[in-house]
Amino acid sequence: FTTLSCSSTGNLAGAVGAAAARAGLRSCVFIPHDLEQGKVVMAAVYGGELVGIEGNYDDVNRFCSELIGDPLGEGWGFVNVN
């Protein structure tokens, strides 16, 4: 895969961003659109792309689950999708 991705409301976003940066991969973190600013900043520290999704964490996680089987998610490694 060329992109490391997850759904997150905090710590996992930073960890995925750091791991992707270290491995030379792109990162894309999906977050609830109304996530508090402090958590958004922590998720963005490593330069990954942040995508706000309408809804709560469960909605964001469901969106990521749907991407796994979709051609749009090809080449992406997803972390912690339930």
Name the CATH code of domain 3-79 (choices 3.90.1200.10, 3.40.50.720, 3.50.30.60, 3.40.50.1100): 3.40.50.1100
Domain ranges within the chain, ordered by starting residue: 3-79
CB within 8 Å of 48: residues ≥ 6 apart: 13, 16, 17, 20, 21, 26, 27, 28, 29
Length of the chain: 82
pLDDT in tens, 19-78: 999 999 999 999 999 998 888 887 788 888 999 999 999 999 999 988 887 777 788 999
The pLDDT of residue 48:
86
Q: Which among 34, 13, 63 is positioned nearest to 81, based on CA atoms?
A: 63
